[in-house]
Each structure stands twice: as structure tokens, then as C-alpha cells.
């Protein structure tokens, strides 16, 4: 993306708005993840969610610091997409009565959230780079790496919890 300097003020507004939306995302997750931990049966899944909950708290703090440095205050703009993902996750989990199916639903829901976060953080990191905000760009990059790691861990748990059809039949 190339931006003329006249557009940078608007890009800065979009950048701040998206940081506030990401903070709303992380704060909604701090409430949602414990419910997923409670409903999960597989021990490794519970542990992965538990450690991602701690990472999520750090990620929220990182955003608060960036917002404080950038705007002098910490405000949020509600992420409607995350609220919808959480609502959909609750429905999927509620409808699964079998333990392993419920774990599969939890993993599917959690991975959807990770991908949403990776996409959103990726764009915001790019905005930070264009605006010359190098320290925030590095902090956002750290969060993207953590989200990617959480996603890969969930994939490996899914492969073990839900073996493919031929392995399940064996
Ligand atoms: Fe996160």
C-alpha cells in the first residue's frame, strides 16, 4: 500500500480505531476462554486454552500500552465480529453432547478466532509500519506470533483428538 502524506491523518485514525477494536477483541476473549476451558474435556486442550488465556491478558496489556502511548488514553470500540464468533462458538459447544465432539467444536471455534485475530493484527501491523510506528509494529508482531503458535497447537490437538477416518476405524 502506498499512501500520500495527506491521507496519513485518516490512516492514523483507522489505525487507532483498529487498535481499540483489537483491545475489545482481547477483552471479550478474556471472558470467553474460561468458559471454553470449563467445557473442554481433553487435558491438553484445557492446558492450551489456559496458557492462551494468560497470553491473551498480556496481549490486552500490550494494546493498552500502545493506545496510551499513541493517544494518551485507553478506549475500546466493540468488535462485533468477535462477539458474533463467541456467540456462534457457544451455540456449537452447547449443541455437542458427546465429549470428543464438544472438544472438536471448541477447537474449531478457537481456531476461527485465531485466524480472525491474525488477519486483523496483520493489517494493523501494516498500518503501524506505514505510519512509522516501529515499536507498536514490533509489539503487534509479537502478538501475531503468539496467535500463530496457538493456532498450530490447536491443529496438533485436533489431529490427536479427532483421528482421520481410517485411523479411527483401525
Ligand atoms: Fe489474542
Query: CB neighbours of 170 closer than 8 A, spacing ≥ 6?
Result: none
What is the rounded radius of gyration, in angstroms, for the C-alpha atoms of the chain?
Answer: 18
Statement: 33-162 belongs to CATH 1.20.1260.10: yes
Task: Look at residues 47, 67, 68, 57 and name the one whose alpha carbon lies nearest to residue 26.
Answer: 57
Find the 83 Cα to ligand 1 centroid distance in Å.
Answer: 14
Find the 65 Cα to ligand 1 centroid distance in Å.
Answer: 15
Find the 85 Cα to ligand 1 centroid distance in Å.
Answer: 14
Find the 117 Cα to ligand 1 centroid distance in Å.
Answer: 6
Count of residues making up the chain: 170
Segments making up each domain of the chain, as ranges: 33-162
- Mean pLDDT of all residues belonging to the chain: 93
Number of C-alpha atoms within 13 angstroms, CB side, residue 59?
Answer: 30
Angle between helices 99-130 and 80-95 (to 10 degrees): 170
Question: What's the average model confidence in pLDDT over 39-61?
Answer: 97
- For 69-91, write each residue's pLDDT tens digit: 999 999 999 999 999 999 999 99
Find the 96 Cα to ligand 1 centroid distance in Å.
Answer: 25
Amino acid at each position: 500500500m502506498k499512501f500520500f502524506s495527506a491521507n496519513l491523518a485518516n490512516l492514523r485514525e483507522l489505525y487507532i480505531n483498529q487498535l481499540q477494536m483489537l483491545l475489545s477483541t482481547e477483552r471479550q476473549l478474556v471472558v470467553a476462554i474460561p468458559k471454553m476451558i470449563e467445557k473442554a474435556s481433553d487435558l491438553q486442550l484445557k492446558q492450551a486454552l489456559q496458557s492462551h488465556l494468560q497470553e491473551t491478558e498480556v496481549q490486552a496489556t500490550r494494546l493498552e500500552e500502545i493506545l496510551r502511548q499513541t493517544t494518551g488514553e485507553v478506549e475500546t470500540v466493540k468488535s462485533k465480529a468477535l462477539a458474533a464468533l463467541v456467540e456462534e462458538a457457544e451455540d456449537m459447544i452447547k449443541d455437542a453432547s458427546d465429549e470428543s465432539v464438544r472438544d472438536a467444536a471448541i477447537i474449531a471455534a478457537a481456531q476461527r478466532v485465531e485466524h480472525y485475530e491474525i488477519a486483523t493484527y496483520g493489517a494493523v501491523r501494516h498500518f503501524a509500519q506505514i505510519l512509522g510506528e516501529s515499536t507498536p509494529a514490533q509489539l503487534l508482531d509479537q502478538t501475531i506470533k503468539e496467535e500463530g503458535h496457538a493456532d498450530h497447537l490447536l491443529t496438533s490437538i485436533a489431529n490427536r483428538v479427532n483421528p482421520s477416518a481410517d485411523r479411527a476405524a483401525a
